């Protein structure tokens, strides 16, 4: 079974702190994703990466950055946390999509971040 793990289930930080959220997958997947989930808004894509050291902005990248130094690990960084970044953060991974197939994204359990 694919396993996607996230470093923390719950995290409480103060405004202005630098926050690191870590995600690790064990299936050698090329693609990795960071979403945030908010009630009534569903999941919104923050950043994704389709290869080591490659990254692309999603729909809401402002206030976030990412790092992918190794294939299995994708980090989300909040450079200076703000209260409006209080949310559930979900990481996902998948094999690459191709012209004749598409592949399921597998999700981690999520990190519920509270910024005070």
Query: Closest CB to other proteins among 16 and 97?
Result: 97
The yes or no reply on residue 53 touching other proteins (CB under 8 A) is no
User: Smallest distance from the beta carbon of 32 to other proteins, in angstroms?
Assistant: 9
> Residue 87 phi/psi, 5° resolution?
-175, 175
Catalog residues that contact other proteins under the rule CB under 8 A.
4, 9, 31, 33, 35, 40-45, 48-50, 56, 58, 90, 92, 94, 96-99, 101-110
């Amino acid at each position: 079974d694919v396993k996607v793990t996230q470093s923390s289930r719950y995290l409480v930080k103060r405004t202005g702190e630098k926050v690191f959220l870590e995600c690790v997958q064990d299936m050698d997947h090329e693609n990795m994703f960071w979403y945030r989930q908010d009630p009534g808004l569903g999941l919104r894509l923050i950043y994704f990466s389709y290869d080591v050291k490659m990254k692309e902005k999603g729909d809401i990248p402002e206030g976030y950055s990412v790092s992918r130094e190794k294939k299995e690990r994708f980090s989300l960084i909040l450079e200076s946390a703000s209260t409006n970044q209080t949310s559930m953060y979900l990481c996902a991974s998948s094999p690459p999509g191709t012209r004749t197939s598409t592949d399921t994204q597998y999700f981690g359990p999520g990190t519920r971040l509270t910024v005070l």
